[in-house]
Structure 1
Amino acid sequence: MSAPSQIQQRGATAPAVAPPATPRMTGRQKLVLTLLLGAQFMIAVDFSILNVALPVVGEGLGFSLPNLQWIATSFALAAAGFTLLFGRIADLVGRKRLFVGGMVVLGLSSALGGLATSPEVLLTARVLQGLATAAVTPAGLALLTTAFKEGPLRERALGLNGALMSAGFTAGAILGGLLTDLLSWRWAFFVNVPVAALVVALAPSVITDSRPAGRPRLDIPGAATVTGGLLLLVYGLTQAGATGWTAPTTLTALLAGAALLIAFWFVEKRSAAPLVPVRILKRRSVIWGNATGLIAFVTETSLVFLLTLYLQEVLGYSPLATGLAFGVLGIGTVIGGTLGGRAVGRFGNRTTIVTGGVIQAVATLSLVALGTSGAWIWLLLAATFIGGIGNMLMIVGFMVTATSGLPDDEQGLATGLATMTQQVGITMGIPIMSAIATARMSGLGDGDPQTVLSGVSLAILVNSALVLAGALLAGAFLRPRGARGGADQG
């Protein structure tokens, strides 16, 4: 047999090289994932569960109409204002300890809210719920990212986390309507108590803590400036939705918040033990990852608000029917979250973010065609389903980008920044889009359904343009890294 024939024969019979096996989660990792995702889902439900029930809560406890917003605002102030601080505290004292402690506070404050007999008690419960959220969310995410090494398993875990977080917002609206109609608004609080108790009982034995070798000092000046700045910024944003962007209280709060956040940057540059090292704030992945996340949360949460106006004021839907209509959006976000981790692993962070943003922008743009006939509900359902998939691809890409390339002892900080971005985005979206829609409706000078539709359509158009701009910016500034196309870490 000739040499070429021998080579061909050996080549024909030689076994093919098998592709590397996809890593699988261990049983313990699945248990940890289930516990942490359950807690994060409950936190997400809390964001929206009272929205549908606000008028009923106000009547039951004697809230005046102007003060009704404080039921949501008090929660948002604490949740967004203290997230970054608690994210760093989680790195310093131990993530599991802060996570379990936060769940205890969440359970007790939920019981207090359900038993409230006055506005003061209810608002105290909401502030405590917000503080618990600010502790649990970054600590839980840090435990999640340290339980799974950077790569396919972490991407899958973050995808599922994003899906359940987004689904929780939708589930909260549906659950709030059901509980309020069938039982009482108080069950919107009581439903948290058994879930929190179960997590507190299981977490100590299931979760492995990750704690620093030493006990670094906490940056008090940095903590004071960033917490004060975020509190004022969120307060200004919520006031903008109630009193307008030019009101003295709104402008004062926004300007003072911006000044404190600028001061925070200079404090961190000079601090020996900074709350957030400036080198991290300068990282391309942190900057543009969080910018993408901010746009994703600003646009999707505000779109839900705009479509709520459309469904109730134009089509005449009840609050419960409105919540049920958003169930299709919830299904889309679950699918998007499930696909998100795989998409990041196969195509990279940047491609996933850009693709998701373009899908969301196109789906949102189609909603400009909505009319006053009830038949348009089918376009709304289809567009929110597809847009939900795109939005979740953006969110998963953002979370993977914003937490990648950092050591385990800084994951609490990274997830704290990412969670802060999420909270601020949720808070910013409604005032911005509400102001656009209201300005349009005021200009037309009539409150009929066609006027409401005109204002909603203009805000939806701006919403779509904002998503597209965010996707294009991510594509321009998140450079590919290696063969996987991940975000540049430098």
Structure 2
Amino acid sequence: MTAATRCTGPAAGRPGPWSAAALSLHLAMFVVLLDGSALNLALPRIADDLGASTAGMEWVANAYLLPLASLLLLAGGLADRLGAKHVLVAGLLAFAAGSALCASSPSLTVLLAARALQGIAGAAVLPALLSLVVHVFASGQDRSRALNVMSVFGSGALLAGPFLGAALTQALGWRAVFWAMAPVALGAAALAATRLPRPAPAARRRLDVPGQLAGTLALALTVGGLVELSDRGVTSPLVLAMLATGASVGAGLLVWDRRADEPLIPLELFDRPAFRAAVLGGYAFALNVFGLQFLFAIHLQQRWGYSPMEAGLALLPFSVTTVVTTTVVNPLLLHRGLRFMLLTGMPIALAGTAVALAVTSPGSWVFLTVAGSLIGAGSSIYSPSLNQLAVRDAGSDRAGAASAVYFTARQVGMASGVAVLGALTALESPLAGLRIGILITGLLLGVALLQLARATTAPPAPEPGQQEEQQAVRGRAEPSPHPS
């Protein structure tokens, strides 16, 4: 590791995946994912209490999503420059403050501002997590175990969130959902501040202000356009303008980054096939997992006449197999290595996606159960390895930027799933829309599988400092071809 990121102190002595240092990372992942999954069932109560319209309810969710997705790249750069531990602790404290402000909001305007603060804080937390996994866990095997435990916490948040949100809202009101998150975030911040290794002083690197502004604007326009697409349709002038402008600003950012001394996105990361494959895999994962859940949730309620609770129970096999796989199956498979996990989990998820094509009517609920179980199990096997692959070759001083690009791809995949797959539910033939959505996610997941199969055949690229050292060793060991 470079001097800019090397960890010091007692915690640097190889903490385990269940140590206090690791627990701070797991709780941080838990609370950020819990926020999204626990809130959905509280939205009608929020609307009644604060007099919000349907559009207002949507913005309670979008006010969190937009800053979260838009600021990931900025947060990843700050993690590399200021230290991932400092960014994580600050993000968790801000998240706790935002949760408390949400819980005490007297109006919809204040609630939306507080949700935006939560989104900003979440953007700080996510890139710092993978960066710290690189710094805290030295060996690939230790990282695999830590990331699997982190997935257990993430899966637990997604599974428990809807039931916890419903129970708290029913018993104590919607404000209790936010009050419950604040102490979890504070506890994670306290553990991170006291138990994570002390970071060495960060290298002095200039902040790429034009790149940061362009990256934030490009992502805000792209994600905002995708959010509006689900409501206004693909032909809306506003949607087209937002997406086109976002793409143009993004293209300009890439041109700028090629010339910048300290670019927002280190483009040399994309020279590594494994990183490119991980980013594509992250996008495909989000579109397949979250997009299909959203698509089926709408289809079951609008076309099969299910209530929200019945639709949730129909999709429960996905969540159950996710938790069972991460807690029981993965610990038995991790020793087989990253490539094995990727090339085992993705085909299982693809098989589940294929089975989903057989879902036609309420009488085909068995196929829905099998499809959800296979997708849940398969994605739980390969997703922790995707997280690891995204930062494996980045180098210690670029881990924050690499994880930010990866999580950005996942957030855009989630937004694409809601927008594109949601638009398919409005087709004249609902079943055709359902099958087209399934095919889109399956084809993209298949392409990602092929890319990952090719990219993981090569050995991991050494970090920059390690590469120079290896070259020096070879120079000393090999005789000069031009003796004097």
- Find the counterpart in structure 2 of residue 53 from structure 1: 42
Select which of 171, 182, 186 maps to 1:182. Answer: 171
- Find the counterpart in structure 1 of residue 73 from structure 2: 84
Deviation at 1:109, TM superposition (A): 0.8
Deviation at 1:340, TM superposition (A): 4.9
- Find the counterpart in structure 1 of residue 415 from structure 2: 427
Select which of 445, 448, 455 maps to 1:478. Answer: 455
Select which of 228, 246, 249 maps to 1:257. Answer: 246
Distance, in Å, in 2 between the alignment partners of 1:348 and 1:128 is 36
Please state whether the residue corresponding to 1:242 is helix, strand or coil.
helix
Deviation at 1:435, TM superposition (A): 1.6
Judged with a 3 Å threshold, the aligned counterparts in structure 2 of structure 1 residues 29 and 388 are, in CA distance, closer, same or farther, namely closer
Deviation at 1:166, TM superposition (A): 3.8
Judged with a 3 Å threshold, the aligned counterparts in structure 2 of structure 1 residues 461 and 131 are, in CA distance, closer, same or farther, namely same
Structure 1 gap segments, 5+ residues each:
1-23, 445-451
- Find the counterpart in structure 2 of residue 346 from structure 1: 336
Distance, in Å, in 2 between the alignment partners of 1:88 and 1:141 is 13
Deviation at 1:250, TM superposition (A): 0.8
Judged with a 3 Å threshold, the aligned counterparts in structure 2 of structure 1 residues 314 and 435 are, in CA distance, closer, same or farther, namely closer
Deviation string 1:82-132 (CA, Å, 9 cap, x unpaired) is 011111101111222211111111111111111222211111011001000
Distance, in Å, in 1 between the alignment partners of 2:246 and 2:371 is 36
Deviation string 1:45-77 (CA, Å, 9 cap, x unpaired) is 112222233233222212222333211111111
CA RMSD of aligned residues (A): 2.5
Q: Aligned runs of 1:22-421 on 2, under 5 Å?
A: 26=15, 30-338=19-327, 339-340=329-330, 343=333, 345-349=335-339, 351-373=340-362, 376-421=364-409
- Find the counterpart in structure 2 of residue 9 from structure 1: none
Please state whether the residue corresponding to 2:203 is helix, strand or coil.
coil
Distance, in Å, in 2 between the alignment partners of 1:70 and 1:413 is 28
Q: Indicate the larger mover: 236-245 or 167-176.
A: 167-176
Contact kept, 8 Å, 2:277 with 2:448, in 1: the verdict is no
Contact kept, 8 Å, 1:174 with 1:324, in 2: the verdict is no
Contact kept, 8 Å, 1:222 with 1:268, in 2: the verdict is yes
Identical residues among aligned pairs (%):
31
Q: Which has the larger radius of gyration?
A: 1
Deviation at 1:469, TM superposition (A): 3.1
- Find the counterpart in structure 1 of residue 4 from structure 2: none
Distance, in Å, in 2 between the alignment partners of 1:44 and 1:70 is 18
TM-score calculated relative to the size of structure 2: 0.86
Structure 1 position 467 matched with structure 2 position 445:
yes
Distance, in Å, in 2 between the alignment partners of 1:348 and 1:110 is 36
Judged with a 3 Å threshold, the aligned counterparts in structure 2 of structure 1 residues 27 and 323 are, in CA distance, closer, same or farther, namely same
Contact kept, 8 Å, 2:20 with 2:191, in 1: the verdict is no
Distance, in Å, in 1 between the alignment partners of 2:170 and 2:310 is 11
Deviation string 1:241-300 (CA, Å, 9 cap, x unpaired) is 111112111111111111111111111111112222221232212211110111001111
Structure 2 gap segments, 5+ residues each:
1-12, 468-484
Deviation string 1:331-354 (CA, Å, 9 cap, x unpaired) is 3223444545764651543x4323
**Amino acid aligned to 2:290:** T
Count residues in correspondence.
Answer: 451
Judged with a 3 Å threshold, the aligned counterparts in structure 2 of structure 1 residues 148 and 302 are, in CA distance, closer, same or farther, namely same
Distance, in Å, in 2 between the alignment partners of 1:378 and 1:211 is 55
Deviation string 1:453-483 (CA, Å, 9 cap, x unpaired) is 55334423433333223223332x414135x
Judged with a 3 Å threshold, the aligned counterparts in structure 2 of structure 1 residues 326 and 172 are, in CA distance, closer, same or farther, namely farther
Contact kept, 8 Å, 1:86 with 1:138, in 2: the verdict is yes
Deviation at 1:213, TM superposition (A): 4.1
